Amino acid sequence: MCRMFGLVASRPVQVRELLRDAPRSLRTLSNEHRDGWGVALRTPDDWIVHRSTECAAKCARYDELVDQVATRLLVAHVRQKTVGETSLANTHPFRRGAFVFAHNGTVRDVPALVARSSAARLAQIEGSTDSERLFAFILTRVDDTGGDVARGVIAAVAELHALGDLGSATFLLSCGERLYAHRLGRSLFTLVRHAAVETRRTAAAIVASERLTDEAWVEIPERALVSIDVASETVVLPLAA
């Protein structure tokens, strides 16, 4: 299993509390998920992805990074390997152009995903994980819609559900403008801080594999797909295009 974290904010915010200092921060969780860490940060027009095969709790580079970072959009992950060796190629988040992706769980029926993915997307795979193959499948559906990300993700999720006993396909996906969170087989929670009416503080929405603090986290229902926008509104999307 792995642990994931995503954040969307109306203005750049610091992330060291939830990634390092909170009671169940990603750094703390990495003591149980030791096989690498990754943080994808959105700049105004691009992604910067930092990854390491070290345990985050023992990595000075991780501490330095999260101490300095302020961003409006972030996807982070700590890995406990189940499929694929410990290597940078197998370390989440993965990036394909404008998209970053992190996965929690194990997909049992990988051949079903491969059979439904385009040759172009499969050719982009660098590692040996089921996670990259799930990413290729989802991006194939986005491509099929002519690049309509919401329609493509909805179509991919509906197809995943129709495949039956696929395994666990809980994931975070971002195109740089929105964060999509899907729960299937592993837990997922959201937290909204400082709603838009609180103009003196920065509104932010957070999604994580578990409750990282004692705040009022809301559990995302099993098989639900959630889209989080820059205004920190959380919407459960329908599972049909």
| Whole-angstrom distance, CA of residue 115 vs CA of residue 136 | 11
Note whether residue 79 is domain-resident: yes
Supply the CATH number for residue 151's domain.
3.60.20.10
The domain total for the chain is 1
| Whole-angstrom distance, CA of residue 117 vs CA of residue 21 | 40
Show Cβ contacts of residue 97 under 8 Å, excluding neighbours closer than 6 positions: none
CA angle, residues 187, 189, 190, in degrees to nearest 5: 160
What parts of the chain have a pLDDT lower than 70?
1-2, 195-200, 230-234, 239-241
| Whole-angstrom distance, CA of residue 60 vs CA of residue 55 | 10
Note whether residue 192 is domain-resident: yes
pLDDT of residue 241: 44
Domain that holds residue 8: 2-236
State pTM to two decimals.
0.93
Note whether residue 177 is domain-resident: yes
Note whether residue 241 is domain-resident: no
pLDDT of residue 71: 93
